[in-house]
Structures are given as structure tokens and as C-alpha cells.
Amino acid sequence: MPRFAKLLTLLAAWLLLAAGGPAHAHAVVTESSLVHEPIKPGHATTVVLFFNADVELKLSRVFLVSAGDVYQPVDIARGQKPGELRIHLPALKPGDYAIKYKVFAADGHLTENALRFHVSE
């Protein structure tokens, strides 16, 4: 095998090993209080999200999304456990909503997603 071909083979093998190394962490929701405690209309409430990594609170943003794609920023706070995020929602009328979040994991990786939920009588 010519020397150049050997170098290319070694480079390709190194790239495959580097790509197959440990995955970088992202803050992914592992549990939500929305599953266990549906939101009742007319009452301000706190939704708790549990992430698989700690979240940088100052670099994270959460919005309540309502009908017509209306975004309303909501207050967030750190919970008692690592990765626990408390989201304070205002009193809501019956209807469909989403919690849109953009959070940074403690390691600096960005995660953006939305959790849809329904408020009913």
C-alpha cells in the first residue's frame, strides 16, 4: 500500500473513532408534573420539569404559547434537585397551550423543545 494511502486509512480510522466517542450531554426533559397534575383553569400554577442535566437558569428562557401562536415569557426558578426547573404559569382559561423552552445545560449545550398540554374544566 503506498504511503499516502496508509495515511488516508489512518486518518479515516481516527475520524471514525473520534465521531464514535462519548456523546455530548444535552438537557433533556425526563419527567414533567403535567403528567401527574393537570392544570386547572383559573388558577395560577407551577409546572415542574426534570432534566437529565443541570440547567443554567440565567441563560435559559421559557414561554407560554397560547392560541394564535402568542408567546408570553414566564418566570422560572431552580428546583430543589439538580436538573429541576420550576415554571410559574398564570391562571389559564380552558384551551390548548404549550410550554416552549430553550435551556442551556450546565455543560453549555442548548436544548429547545415544546411541551403541549390542555386545560379543561
Question: What is the 8-class DSSP label of residue 25?
Answer: P
Residue-wise pLDDT tens digits, 77-102:
999 999 999 999 999 999 999 999 99
Residue 2: band (very low, low, confident or very high) from pLDDT cuts 50, 70, 90: low
What's residue 3's pLDDT? Answer: 54
User: Cell numbers of 75, please?
Assistant: 418566570
**CA 120 – CA 111 distance, rounded (Å):** 29
- Across the strands, what pairs with 112? 102
- Judge whether 15 and 42 are in contact, CB under 8 Å: no
Q: What is the pLDDT confidence band of residue 25, given thresholds at 50, 70 and 90?
A: low
